[in-house]
């Protein structure tokens, strides 16, 4: 009884968000940065003490159009005055308008959309579509080929697809969906093995062909790949890799799923990252930035794959939610009107080049890489051993936080600083950021 009363008193006294967070939220969320959010707008986040941060992580690559873009807010408000959730059991104008717009901007043959609520749901659905296509063609399609270092989500199938042990190590047999096979990622810096970059790209794609042929093409339902690995450490494949992988999968009529959940919608300086290598996937997954801060996911696919599905094969209660679709329509307009793809390309190029210039000055910088506003700095103990330096990435992230910059850390070895600001960022803001990061790198150099 006394213990119960004591607990009640403690809970009553907890006015602090951080205390309430640790008391009431399930203990599975990654350790939070010490920021209690009061407001977010544009490229900035303000905490409860009034300190303003530049958001260089965009809520994990979501806020491409910035936080609370007035056009997104207006689109949501207007939609709420018309109708909210009704479900896709009825026809809805905003849903079809969004599907039409996606068909206009997506790679040529991707004309059909299915809407869901998150990245994991989009990936899970994409594999389901590919498997249905296999069965429609009279094949088993049991195997799905994914890549080590990839990240595709946290549900049973998507976590199985995710090629990073650290996300599954302590989860028993949860991430054990049958038929998933992992292959070597086109991560030249770590796995190049003495080859030149072009040859390595071809080798990595040809290895996928060998795996497909070993199991026989009829048993492979799909190959899934992130065109730039995001969580895995902003890994940009050699230019030879994706065109070759496309030819290999096409020749065997195996759907290539390109997971653009993180790379899509302008992030890499193209509307979709697969455009950097002029390839068209059979299925593309989107989420994150699409809703401008509201939850939405999309599977965009070809007429052919779409026609292998029948009414009732797939559905989601909230899929095609009109509020999220209205926000997504505004996001697509903003990206075009404000030329955010072009801005991501030019400001991204500035940041990438500025950091590349610093690469040789620091023994602990292994590699700077990226495209557009998806940039990673991989930290190592020293350039020769390339041993991952997780603690340096973490230290720099925390120092930058003190100086008012929110950044991410990722990578297979958690040693990659992730720089992914909203695409509305201005050149002057990027210059200030580089100045601050340079200072921080110097302090870290002196201390290490
Ligand atoms: C490439 C990729 N796919 C899928 C996902 C999963 O998305 P969500 O967290 O919305 O389920 C992520 C999330 O980071 C991702 O980066």
Report the pocket of ligand 1 as residue ranges, CB < 6 Å: 60, 118-120, 123, 151-153, 226, 230-231, 259, 261-262, 287
Q: Is 384 found in the same domain as 429?
A: yes
Rounded (10°) angle between helices 197-215 and 241-251: 20
Q: Distance between CA atoms of 125 and 259, rounded to whole angstroms?
A: 12
Which atom of ligand 1 is closest in space to residue 229's alpha carbon?
1
- For residue 219, list its beta bridge partners: none
Q: Is 24 found in the same domain as 82?
A: no
Question: Is residue 197, in this structure, part of any structural domain at all?
Answer: yes
10 Å CB burial of residue 438 (0-12, 13-18, 19+) is middle
Ranges of residues in the chain with a pLDDT under 70 are 1-15
Q: Distance between CA atoms of 242 and 141, rounded to whole angstroms?
A: 22
Q: Is 421 found in the same domain as 295?
A: no
- Domain total for the chain? 2
CA 62–ligand 1 middle distance (angstroms) = 10
Q: Is 430 found in the same domain as 313?
A: no
Q: Distance between CA atoms of 88 and 99, rounded to whole angstroms?
A: 13
Q: Is 155 found in the same domain as 253?
A: yes
CATH number of the domain encompassing residue 384: 3.90.1150.10
Q: Distance between CA atoms of 219 and 138, rounded to whole angstroms?
A: 10
Question: Is residue 7, in this structure, part of any structural domain at all?
Answer: no
Q: Is 331 found in the same domain as 269?
A: yes
CA 7–ligand 1 middle distance (angstroms) = 37
Q: Is 120 found in the same domain as 47?
A: no
Residue 448: the pLDDT is: 81
Q: Is 434 found in the same domain as 286?
A: no
What is the number of alpha carbons within 13 Å of residue 56 lying toward its C-beta?
29
Q: Whose CA is nearest to atom 4 of ligand 1?
A: 152
Q: Is 84 found in the same domain as 23?
A: no
Question: Is residue 218, in this structure, part of any structural domain at all?
Answer: yes
Q: Whose CA is nearest to atom 8 of ligand 1?
A: 119
Q: Is 234 found in the same domain as 93?
A: yes
Picking from 311, 337, 363, the residue at the C-terminal end of a domain is: 337
Which atom of ligand 1 is closest in space to residue 263's alpha carbon?
1
Question: Is residue 22, in this structure, part of any structural domain at all?
Answer: yes
Question: Is residue 5, in this structure, part of any structural domain at all?
Answer: no
Picking from 286, 310, 337, the residue at the C-terminal end of a domain is: 337
Question: Is residue 437, in this structure, part of any structural domain at all?
Answer: yes
Residue 370: the pLDDT is: 98
CATH number of the domain encompassing residue 203: 3.40.640.10
| Domain with 29 in it | 13-65+339-447
Among the listed residues 271, 282, 294, 241, the one whose alpha carbon sits nearest the alpha carbon of residue 77 = 294
Task: State the pTM of this model.
Answer: 0.96
CA 363–ligand 1 middle distance (angstroms) = 32
CA 121–ligand 1 middle distance (angstroms) = 9
CA 287–ligand 1 middle distance (angstroms) = 8
Residue 443: the pLDDT is: 94
Which atom of ligand 1 is closest in space to residue 120's alpha carbon?
11
Q: Are 283 and 129 in contact (CB under 8 A)?
A: yes
Q: Is 119 found in the same domain as 31?
A: no
CA 325–ligand 1 middle distance (angstroms) = 19
**CA 219 → CA 158, 183, 208, 240, 254, distances in Å?**
19, 16, 14, 26, 10
Q: Whose CA is nearest to atom 13 of ligand 1?
A: 153
Residue 13: the pLDDT is: 53
Residue 5: the pLDDT is: 52
Q: Distance between CA atoms of 428 and 298, rounded to whole angstroms?
A: 34
Which atom of ligand 1 is closest in space to residue 154's alpha carbon?
11
């Amino acid at each position: 009884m006394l213990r119960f009363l004591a607990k009640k008193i403690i809970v009553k006294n907890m006015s602090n968000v951080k205390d309430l967070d640790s008391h009431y939220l399930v203990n599975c969320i990654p350790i939070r940065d010490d920021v209690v959010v009061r407001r977010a707008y544009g490229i900035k986040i303000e905490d409860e003490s009034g300190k303003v941060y530049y958001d260089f992580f965009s809520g994990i690559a979501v806020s491409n159009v910035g936080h609370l873009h007035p056009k997104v807010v207006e689109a949501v408000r207007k939609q709420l005055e018309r109708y909210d959730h009704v479900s896709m059991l009825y026809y809805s104008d905003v849903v079809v308008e969004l599907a039409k717009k996606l068909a206009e901007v997506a790679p040529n043959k991707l004309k059909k959309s299915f809407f869901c609520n998150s990245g994991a749901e989009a990936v899970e659905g994409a594999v389901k579509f590919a498997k249905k296509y296999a069965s429609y063609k009279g094949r088993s399609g049991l195997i799905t080929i994914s890549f080590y270092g990839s990240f595709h989500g946290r549900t049973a199938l998507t976590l199985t697809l995710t090629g990073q042990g650290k996300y599954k190590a302590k989860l028993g047999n949860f991430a054990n969906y049958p038929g998933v096979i992992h292959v070597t990622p086109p991560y030249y810096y770590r796995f190049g093995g003495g080859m030149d970059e072009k040859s390595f790209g071809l080798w990595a794609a040809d290895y996928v062909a060998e795996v497909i042929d070993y199991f026989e093409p009829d048993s492979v339902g799909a190959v899934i790949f992130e065109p730039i690995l995001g969580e895995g450490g902003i890994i940009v494949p050699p230019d030879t890799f994706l065109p070759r992988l496309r030819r290999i999968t096409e020749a065997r009529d195996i759907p290539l799923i390109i997971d653009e959940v993180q790379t899509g919608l302008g992030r890499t300086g193209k509307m979709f990252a697969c455009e950097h290598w002029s390839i068209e996937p059979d299925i593309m997954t989107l989420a994150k930035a699409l809703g401008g801060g509201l939850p939405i996911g999309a599977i965009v696919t070809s007429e052919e794959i779409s026609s292998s599905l029948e009414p009732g094969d797939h559905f989601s209660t909230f899929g095609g939610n009109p509020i999220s679709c209205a926000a997504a329509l505004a996001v697509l307009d903003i990206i075009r009107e404000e030329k955010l793809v072009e801005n991501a390309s030019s400001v991204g190029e500035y940041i990438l080049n500025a950091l590349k210039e610093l690469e040789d000055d620091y023994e602990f910088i292994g590699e700077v890489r990226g495209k557009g506003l998806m940039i990673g700095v991989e930290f190592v103990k020293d350039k020769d051993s390339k041993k991952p330096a997780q603690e340096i990435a973490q230290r720099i992230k925390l120092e930058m936080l003190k100086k008012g910059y929110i950044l991410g850390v990722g990578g297979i070895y958690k040693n990659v600083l992730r720089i992914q600001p909203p695409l509305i960022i201005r050149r002057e803001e990027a210059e200030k950021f580089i100045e601050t990061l340079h200072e921080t790198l110097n302090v870290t150099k002196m201390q290490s």
